[in-house]
A and B are shown apart, each in its own frame.
Chain A
Amino acid sequence: MAEKRKIKITDISNPNLQPLVEVAPTNTIELPPPYDKLEDLPGFKKLSEATRQSVDDSLDGVVAIGVPKPKTPEEEQELVEKFISGLIKLFSKENNWTFLQPLVLTMEHCAKCQTCSEECPIFEASGYEEIYRPTYRAEILRRLYFKYVKPGSPLLKKFQVGDIDLNWTLISRLVELAYRCTICRRCAQACPIGIDNGLITHELRKLFSQEMGIAAKEIHDKGTVQHLLVGSSTGMTPEVVKDNVSFIDEDLSERLGIKVESKWDIEGADYLVLHNAGEFLSWPENPAAFAILLDAAGIKWTYSSELLGYDGVNYGVWYDDFQFSRIAMRHFEIAKKLGVKGIIMGECGHESKSMAIIAERIFGNEIKTINTMSLIEHIVFSGKIKFDPERNNFPVTLHDPCNIVRLMGIVQPQRRVLRFLAPKFREMEPHGVENYCCGGGSGFAVMTPYNFLDWRIHISGRKKFKQILDAFKDEPPGPEVPKYVCAPCSNCKGQIRDILDYYGAKEKSGIYYGGLVELVVNAMADLKEPFIDFSMM
């Protein structure tokens, strides 16, 4: 590999560096055979000249957002001014009370000790590319904050934090850089002072979205906007989702020889079940397994066919407080209207965190939120259902979704279930609150524009793939033994699917993935046919 160009913080605004750094797959995180040969893999997709002319790829040659290039110097100047006005709002209590306190603490008290750096899987997987260091992006925002927001003598501020030139080059690169971090907050966990560089990513994305209208298309246009207008970020309207679900019910009822029945708008139900609607399209067995389990446990539940009532995602949590609040508010209103006691949140990490923690602080907990992990544990150990763990007699490992584990502290319920129902369960290392992100966090799992998919496989997802392979290292390496990665989160599943597909890990090593509830239903002794059918996965 070519010697890396040493960059300086201020290089971010240097338009002559095109790109600022050249990112390519690296072997810093070594994978075991047969995945160890980088040269066997296609590198990052080359962008066409036309694409490069129209959108900015000057950060690292990768494009996640595709910020259009301004056409005139006036346009450029206007964008710079807009950025400054957004920066000021980001630090005002009226506009950003939601995160002002942690943001200011992070801006003003970092000791630049780099204790956090080694903890970032992206920084590591990139071969320690400076721009991906957790503190790099924070340092840029810090210098801008000192220069444009914080009162005081300019000379003193330069002495304190250094200087930076603000121009369109910096802004367009910073937009992309805000989408090179999964907000897994592993770095924050390591910081002895309590500084949170993951939060910086979140706040930068907010500045770009809330002031400049710049965000990832998959998260904004196709995400929250579509969710609010059509009812789901998948684009499914209520009619379409009902059709799809009844088809899934029929199909599974036929295959399993039991009645799988989804319920819609049931008055008097105790709980509204809110899945990530992506499950209905990509992993229909997951909601079906839920339906079977909830019925077997005698829980009175329903889906809602109101707009937004059947899609629990809230992409706003990754980039925009207002889109977030709009969606969260609708979810609670729908539950209230249905008269249910609470919402059962599906196996979706960001949905769970959004509703149970973040929105709860705004809207209170009048409508209770039940997280899947504790619910499944409750059902499994309630004694209402007979289980035969031998039905899960294949190697199983558990991925800890950051949102559920590091950011909500739900660690043990899923483990107690797996220890009981999966005789060949083994942990990844490290696990629990020290887990590594799947690489698809903060919206990445639904983002595939330009060559961004290559980046999230090779860079943000590499550590997780290594962990998965290591977890099964004592098993026969080939596909003869199916191995199951239990990933109780829709977004993590999306990312793990993309990684496994990219490397052909199902064909080469027999690695499959799915949720937790499928394993639970698979172990239900009364089911005539196994619920999990590896040949169909």
Chain B
Amino acid sequence: MELIHLAFYLGLIIFLVIVFAKAIKIATAPVHLRWELYPVAHEKGKAHYGGSYLEEFEWWTKPLQKNLLGEVWTMFQEIVFLKGVWEHNRSLWFGSAPFHYALYLYVVFTILTLLSLIFGLTPTIEGFSNHSIIKFLNVLLWISSIFGIIGAIVLFLKRIFDSNLKLYSNASHYFNILLIGALYVTSFIWLLSSENTIQEIFGFYLGVFSFSQIPSLPIVGYIHFYLLSFFLFYLPFTHMTHFFMKYFTYHKVRWDDEPNLPGSKFRKKLMEQLNFPVQWSAPHIGADGTKTWLIIASSPLPTKEKKNG
């Protein structure tokens, strides 16, 4: 076992555990009040103009129709085309798009690498660079690295020189871009300097996932995987977790138009929440740390407030 093994395991485990824990925490957060924002992508026949079932007179007498494909299509456009940034912040798109595409391609590259290892589709030793899967992965990594470097440079410069971004950029923003940029720079140099980059990457993954010796890598390869390990370790603690939290911001807030009909799944949870004790201190609330939400909402205003009012 080498140090790189440990670094990678640590990064991967922290990544999986923290991402999972964060997802569970937010998924089990209390049911919030409705706060949807139109267009809501699943409104059947209405999403294209931002309409809702509330447009129907006595909507509760009609079946509620959800078009889940609408959600998928909207998310697809958001993820693949970065539609929001394209429409509302075009100049940033030219940095953000390559930056994100590079990440997508890198993830695809890694998944394909692992799959071909699992299914034994490719030779892992040197000298098979004409193998079609290796060629394909090679191209993927090239594009990912180039996009990543371009994206990182554009975003870094924008954060330095665009006054809109500069004021809101903290040390971590620059660090994140540099870290991700460095990942691509190392993969780029690795591709440039070695004929067998993909096979070496195979060797690395084979080694770490079979808990065995990793065939020796060029220095840049080690740097790349140390950086990747650190990135995996670090990512769950940053705002970049938006890559999965976006599911919640869209599906659980922006598009949450679920009516509170008898038998609805959140009724029970809501009843529990209404029985939470309240501690707010302003006199008009009349809380004492034991009175519940429901009691406070059903009580008249406290006497002191009456005098003021």
Q: Does B89 contact A (CB under 8 A)?
A: yes
Q: If the complex has contacts A114-B164, A329-B298, are A360 and B260 also in contact, measured as CB distance less than 8 A?
A: yes
Which of B30, B237, B296 has the most CB atoms of chain A within a 10 A radius of its CB? B30
Chain B residues 161-177 with CB under 8 Å of chain A are 163-165, 167-173, 175
Interface residues as binary, A207-232 with B (CB distance below 8 Å gives 1, 0 otherwise): 00111110000001100011011000
B77 to chain A, nearest CB (A): 10
A119 CB–B CB distance under 8 Å: yes
- CB-nearest residue of chain A to B40: A409
Q: B interface, how many residues as a size bin? A: 35 or more
Q: Mark A363-400, 1 if CB is under 8 A from B, else 0.
A: 11100101101110110000000000000000000000
For B245, the chain A residues whose CB sits under 8 A away are: 105, 108-109, 193
Given known pairs A8-B167, A115-B85, A194-B249, the reply for A100 and B173 (CB within 8 Å) is no
CA of A246 to CA of B123, assembled, Å: 91
In this complex, how many residues of chain A approach chain B with their Cβ under 8 Å: the count is 95
Cα(A119)–Cα(B285), bound, Å: 35
Shortest B303–chain A CB gap in Å is 11
A-B contact count (CB 8 A): 268
Choose from A98, A116, A211, A432 the contact partner of B88 (Cβ within 8 Å).
Answer: A116
User: Provided the pairs A115-B84, A374-B54, A412-B51 are in contact, do residues A85 and B281 lie with their beta carbons within 8 angstroms?
Assistant: yes
Nearest Cβ distance between residue B51 and chain A, in whole angstroms? Answer: 5
Any chain B CB within 8 A of the CB of A302? no
Most interface-central of A101, A104, A211 (chain B CB within 10 A): A101
CB neighbours (8 Å) of B163 from chain A are 6
**Bound Cα distance from A92 to B293, whole angstroms:** 14
Q: Cβ of A135 and Cβ of B280 under 8 Å apart?
A: no
Contact with A along B108-130 (1 / 0, CB 8 A): 00000000000000000000000
Chain A residues within an 8 Å CB radius of B279: 89, 92, 94-95
B82: CB under 8 A from chain A? yes
The proximity string for B residues 249-262 relative to A, scoring 1 for CB distances below 8 Å and 0 otherwise, is 11011100101111
A-B contact sample (8 more), CB < 8 A, given A159-B175, A225-B284, A322-B280? A97-B32, A116-B88, A193-B249, A323-B284, A326-B297, A326-B299, A326-B301, A358-B33
Interface residues of chain B, those whose CB is within 8 Å of chain A, are: 26, 29-40, 43, 46, 49-60, 78, 82-85, 87-89, 92, 96, 163-165, 167-173, 175, 237-239, 241-242, 245-246, 248-250, 252-254, 257, 259-262, 267, 270, 273-274, 276-285, 293, 296-301, 305-306, 308-309
A to B CB contacts below 8 Å, 9 in the list: A86-B280, A101-B26, A101-B253, A113-B89, A114-B168, A190-B84, A213-B283, A409-B40, A413-B55
Interface residues of A (CB under 8 A from B): 6, 8-9, 82, 85-86, 89, 92-95, 97-102, 104-105, 108-119, 130, 135, 139, 156, 159-162, 185, 188-196, 199, 209-213, 220-221, 225-226, 228-229, 322-323, 325-326, 329, 356-358, 360-365, 368, 370-371, 373-375, 377-378, 405-413, 432-434
